[in-house]
Amino acid sequence: MTSRRRAGGARVRPADVRQRASRAAANHGRPTLEFTSGTPYDDYVAAQELHALQRPITDIPEERAFLVTTQVMELYFGLIRAEWHLAQRLLDAERVAEATAVLARSVRYFEALNAAWGALGWLTPAQFNSFRDALGEASGFQSAMYRHLEFLLGNKSEPLTRPHRRDPKVYRELVAALRAPSLYDTVLALLARRGFDVPPAGDPAAEYVPSPLVEAAWVKIYAEQGPGDELWTLAETLTDLSERFSDWRYRHLMAVRRSMGAKPGSGGSSGLTWLERSLRRDVFPELWSARTTM
């Protein structure tokens, strides 16, 4: 293990089992209270920098809760994107059980994301309106990291990269994500390598279109396999993921409905109507339609 130096210069110094035991003995079981510089915890977590990122633009107390909840979601979006990219690499390498374990972890992250909406369940229209005007056109729709997740799920759309054109790095990464295989593309490529009759890969930048062949492949996996089979387990994990993502969309819809009703959205959309339309798009659609066919 090597130490890591952040941009600010702080370094996290590694410690092994023997060093930890020696420190505990020297402290007589009490925590260390003296450090030569900042605490190792802050060096690692960057807690001061994180807290400094909460910069409300009004003096309305409720805005801070809204801001912190949104930032927590952004952190989870980035974590989930990293996990799905890892799962793709593992699937490409035929390490299916490991990839499935990574995807199962991401299901847990969506449980935390869904719980985050509950943290704003108290926000009434009057409370939201007290600081909403100050947000201008800022909208969650503009989250580049959330857009990465949508693209990885196969919900591709070139126009949705355009809000980020004036940020070259963010725009470049989004366009690359648009043109790269989605997580589902990677799964279907695995099924093709395993001998299932699925359509050849098309344009990865196009929004995914369900296929009867893919539905038949999932039906066959469920009919011929069962618990313990890696493709069966992968299918169930993907279904869990789809369900939790749909939960997130629904909770988003209800949070908007509760805090602002059917008013137009801040980012120029119709608000509630736009979210209802998004909610109707299935993730991994053949995993759901296959259940009718079985």
What percentage of the chain reaches a pLDDT higher than 70?
91
How high does pLDDT run on average in the chain? 89
**Which token pair is 37?**
């510089």
Q: How confident is the model at residue 198 (pLDDT cuts 50, 70, 90)?
A: very high
Go through 247-263 and write b for each residue having 16 or more CB atoms within 10 A of its CB, e for each that does not.
ebbebbbebbebbbeee
- Range scoring the smallest mean pLDDT among 168-172, 216-220, 226-230, 277-281: 277-281
From the list 278, 219, 214, the residue with the least C-alpha distance to 245 is: 278
> Which pLDDT does position 15 carry in this prediction?
86
CATH 1.20.58.480 domain position(s) in the chain: 64-293
- Residue numbers belonging to the annotated binding site for heme: 252
> Which pLDDT does position 33 carry in this prediction?
79
**Does the pLDDT at position 1 exceed 50?**
no
- Residue numbers belonging to the annotated binding site for substrate: 132
SS3 for 190-255 is HHHHCCCCCCCCCCCCCCCCCCHHHHHHHHHHHHHCCCCCHHHHHHHHHHHHHHHHHHHHHHHHHH
Phi and psi at residue 157, in whole multiples of 5°? Answer: -165, 110
Q: Does the reported pTM lie above 0.85?
A: yes
**Architecture field, domain 64-293:** Up-down Bundle (1.20)
pLDDT tens digits, 51-66 = 999 999 999 999 999 9
d(CA 30, CA 28): 6
